[in-house]
Amino acid sequence: MARYPAAMISFDFDDTLIKWGSRHFEDLQGDGPAARLFDRAIAAGVPVAIVTARWPELEAQMARIGAGVHQWLAARGVPEGRVQVVLTSNQPKGPFLAELGARVHYDDNRAQCASAEAYGVHAILVV
């Protein structure tokens, strides 16, 4: 049977993979609704990216309170380099997703979903 390379799946981070109880970044609630799907994709060997609108300074600030993207990956036992992590610095994600070759993107932000769709990447709104 022919084997085909799996398409890349992409996830937003804040309020998609992790869930905040407030927007003050003091109230981390834990895994968000897409985290189990993320785990299954990792286990299945599917190419996975995390595309977050965080900018580098915010990511560094989040890491100081234990909410950095790479900390989250390490805590799940995801090997370094297994997941491509892209910080868009609050820019629309569509161009980044297209560059990565992502086929599907999960995001809690409607505007980011629209940006993905504008670049031919199927978006799924996570609520």
Structure tokens at 63: 């890491």
Nearer to Mg ion, 41 or 109 (CB): 109
**Does an H or E element contain 122, and which?**
strand 122-125
- DSSP-based three-state secondary structure for 56: helix
12 binds Mg ion (CB under 5 A): yes
Q: Which two tokens stand for residue 69?
A: 């993207």
Based on the shown chain and the rule CB under 5 A, indicate whether residue 59 belongs to the binding site for Mg ion: no
Report the alpha-carbon distance of residue 95 to residue 108 in Å, rounded.
18
Among 38, 105, 108, 116, binds Mg ion (CB under 5 A): 108
Q: Candidates 9-17, 30-38, 55-63, 76-84 — which segment interacts with Mg ion by CB under 5 A?
A: 9-17
In the list 10, 11, 14, 121, the residue contacting Mg ion (rule: CB under 5 A) is 14
